[in-house]
Amino acid sequence: MGRRKLVVGNWKMNGLRAQLGEVEAIGAAAAAHPSVEVGLCLPATLIASAQAVSGAAFVGAQDCHMKDSGAHTGCLSAAMLAEAGASWTIVGHSERRQDQGESDADVAAKALAAKAAGLKVILCVGESLDVRDAGNAEAVVSAQLLASLPDGAAADWLAIAYEPIWAIGTGRIPTMEAVEAMHRALRTALGGRIGAADAGGMRILYGGSMNGDNAAELMAIEDVDGGLVGGASLTAAKFAPVIAAAG
Ligand code: PGA
């Protein structure tokens, strides 16, 4: 299908200016692997300064508000993030769905707001351990994806990240067979909404305890088009092997 691998770090609530050297080194690792699209979704406070040093790696945000402006203390609009230097944003990460109570409809609205501001979007979905154990993870996550999918979803501005909640930050990952089955199911679900051809071009990333040891095997799976990487993206020493595994 010719989908270019997309490998994105999610720094979550980590990073001060002292870590800009890591951003610069990750940019150098990205430059060494031009076949891979590489980015870092950073705390908003670091976006502008990181953008100045990130080189071949794009800089993104981790969330945006669904409104353009207004009385929303502490929130940031997509236009603000774009002006600071972000070219992508994550929406719908499970930590926000849980901690901030974001609904599928909120996530779709945030994706549209991001697109309107010129940002590309990584939309996250994934199941709890209860759902995985109950044996219906593919149906549940496919439904979550369709409910969170913005109108006009297209591969040129949107990527999906499948992140099993129980794999995030735990060192546990699903079996390769389970990842393959989920990604296939998600592409089929996308195809039902936007057509098989467009779904065939959309990147579906895996996220959850991806690191330099497991990235090559995960990204060799047919429908796995890259990774959304938390802990292993915080230093160039850990992230560079993940980038190399995608190249
Ligand atoms: P992890 O986080 O790589 O630390 O598991 C991934 C994510 O939550 O995006």
Using the mean position of ligand 1's atoms as its centre, give its distance from the Cα of residue 173 in Å.
11
Answer whether residue 233 shows pLDDT above 70.
yes
Q: Within a domain: residue 189?
A: yes
Q: What is the pLDDT, as a whole number, of residue 73? A: 98
Cα 1 to its chain centre, rounded Å, is: 20
Domain CATH code at residue 27: 3.20.20.70
Answer whether residue 226 shows pLDDT above 70.
yes
Write down the pTM of the prediction: 0.98
Q: Please say if 163 is a catalytic residue.
A: yes
Q: What is the pLDDT, as a whole number, of residue 2? A: 84
Q: Please provide the average confidence, as pLDDT, over all residues in the chain.
A: 98
Rounded distance between C-alpha atoms, residue 159 and residue 192, angstroms: 16
CB-based burial of residue 100 (10 Å sphere; 0-12 exposed, 13-18 middle, 19+ buried)? exposed
Q: What is the pLDDT, as a whole number, of residue 5? A: 98
Q: What is the pLDDT, as a whole number, of residue 98? A: 97
Rounded distance between C-alpha atoms, residue 132 and residue 166, angstroms: 9
Atom of ligand 1 nearest to the CA of 161: 9
Average pLDDT over residues 205-212: 98
Average pLDDT over residues 164-169: 98
pLDDT in tens, 27-75: 999 999 999 999 999 999 999 999 999 999 999 999 999 999 999 999 9
Q: Within a domain: residue 1?
A: no
Average pLDDT over residues 215-231: 98
Using the mean position of ligand 1's atoms as its centre, give its distance from the Cα of residue 237 in Å.
17
Range of the domain at 65: 6-246
Answer whether residue 218 shows pLDDT above 90.
yes
Average pLDDT over residues 5-21: 98
pLDDT in tens, 89-141: 999 999 999 999 999 999 999 999 999 999 999 999 999 999 999 999 999 99
- Contact 169 CB / ligand 1 (< 6 Å): yes
Nearest to 126 by CA among 116, 108, 147, 140: 140
Q: Within a domain: residue 19?
A: yes
Question: What single-letter amino acid sits at 6?
Answer: L
Which of these is catalytic: 93, 127, 138, 183?
93
Answer whether residue 25 shows pLDDT above 70.
yes
Q: What is the pLDDT, as a whole number, of residue 92? A: 98
Domain count, the chain: 1
